[in-house]
Amino acid sequence: MTSTLDTVFAALADPTRRAILSMLLEDDMAVTDVADPFEMSLAAISKHLTILTRAGLISQEKRGRVKWCKLEPDAMKGASVWMQGFGQFEPVNLDAFERFLEHHLDTAEEE
């Protein structure tokens, strides 16, 4: 939902959640099917899905008794752009990136 840098990076910091996102690249999945390849309980997976949803990385839609999970890759955009600002050091976009940092991302979050 929120999709701040905080929640997105935190969500991506867990290997189970990254694996879930990879699975959802293929297709939308029901919660039970997401949980299937993992050793842990369904409740644990349900919590992971909540964290991914809060970060905006997936959406969940209930149809009948089944809750479908759908990847929302756009939620990674902000984080991806933020990181790549450190990777690509052409002087051109370095300035722009620093302005971007100052005026948009970090400040917006700490207010």
Residue 7 structure tokens:
């929640």
CB 50 within 8 A of CB 61: no
CA distance 46 to 34: 9
Residue 82 structure tokens:
């933020």
Q: Tell me if 91 contacts a copy of itself by CB under 8 A.
A: yes
Partner from a copy of itself, DNA, none contacting 28, C-beta within 5 to 8 A by type = none
Q: Rounded to the nearest whole angstrom, what is the least distance from the CB of residue 35 to a copy of itself in the complex?
A: 17
Considering the complex, state which of residue 63 and residue 90 has its C-beta at the smaller distance from DNA. Answer: 63
Residue 80 burial (CB count, 10 A): 12
* Residue from the set 19, 23, 51, 105 that interacts with DNA by CB under 7 A: 51
Q: Which region among 34-42, 45-53, 66-74 touches a copy of itself (by CB under 8 A)?
A: 66-74
Type of residue numbered 102 = E
Considering the complex, state which of residue 23 and residue 65 has its C-beta at the smaller distance from a copy of itself. Answer: 23
